[in-house]
Amino acid sequence: MKVVSFDGRYRGYIYVGKKNPVNNFKKVGGGLTYLSTTTSTSLTNNDKKDLSFAKPGTDTQIYKAPKGSQYKVGAAVKDTTDYKGHKLVASKAAMNDMDGQKWLYVSDVTEPTNASGWVLASQLTDYVAPKAPVSVGNDQTTVLKSWQREFYNPATGTKAYSFDNLNLPLKGFAGNANVNWTTAVKNFNNDATVKGDKKDVVPADTLATAFKNSGLSTVYMKVTPTLLARIPGGLLDKIDSYSGLYMKFDLDMDNIPTTTHYGDQLKLAYKLDNTNLYYKPVISLGGLTNTNADGYAALPVQLNAMNTLWGLLYQ
């Protein structure tokens, strides 16, 4: 058989026995023996992370096959400079049996390149997402003190929104039962992370984080009378928060405008938790109170009838 070395330096004929091994090179005889150049291996947890090139350039290349594993199969991308900071995802791993080095088959998921191929594992590192540019300005993004209630519209079979928050069933005797809402609005309207130049768009993740940190993502509205007049966040507020029942409302992110600029004023919409009323236990008795991450315990109560009623009234 005529053979050639991978580096092209040696070529010629070698005796391989009395049988033609072309259909099964693992049984080649004579002057040749079968040699495996790569061995497939499993991806480790680190391999499954989002990756990027540690030092992109001409020394870090993307190969069609692990380097040195196939004859005349070289690099698909010889200079990865333009791929700096790109996110790579590995789908396969292999060991080069010739030198013991590990290779990963990666795909560049950063548009518009979408390049893919084999890269030496040692030339990869954990991907670090680029930080969003910081907008400089004094335009404070705010939310209105009134909010919309999402409800099911039985006439259309879709969700819709009431014009304003339903104040009557959510007010206590002291007139300020829902300091949870008042406090959350105040926190958001003073959050410096959503302050910038009105010409700039607030990144969606920045906006979502601000909603969560301020307490607007999930709001517990007190539905039983407030016995004590209280200053939001004050001592009496904290004591009185352990009395009475609450409705849980979750922010409807689908109702937030797709593009929000710094300085915009938003009117939020909320969806009622139909399955429970909530209370705030003074002491958590192990797993008996089933307290959630917000510190509230659920009392299973079907509120679907109330939802339907609201839907009929505000359709």
Whether the bond between 133 and the residue before it is cis, its omega within 30 degrees of 0, is: no
Distance CA 83, CA 125 (A): 13
The position carrying tokens 């009323």 is: 277
Note down pLDDT in tens along the chain; length 315 residues. 999 998 889 999 999 988 899 899 998 989 999 989 999 999 999 999 999 999 999 999 999 999 989 998 989 999 999 999 999 999 999 999 988 999 999 999 987 777 899 999 999 999 998 887 789 999 999 999 888 877 766 667 666 666 554 443 344 444 455 778 888 999 999 999 999 999 999 999 899 999 999 999 998 887 766 555 555 555 555 555 667 788 888 999 988 998 999 999 999 988 888 788 888 887 655 555 578 888 888 887 766 555 555 544 444
- pLDDT at position 98 is 85
User: 110: Cβ–Cβ under 8 A, 6 or more apart, which residues?
Assistant: 83, 85, 86, 87
Distance CA 129, CA 185 (A): 30
- pLDDT at position 172 is 44
Pick left, alpha or beta for residue 215 (phi over 0 → left; psi -120 to 50 → alpha; otherwise beta): left
- Contact present, 62 and 81 (Cβ < 8 Å): no
- Contact present, 49 and 88 (Cβ < 8 Å): no
Residue among 101, 108, 19 at smallest CA distance from 68 = 101
Domain annotation for the chain: domains and CATH numbers: 1-35 (no CATH), 36-126 (2.30.30), 139-314 (no CATH)
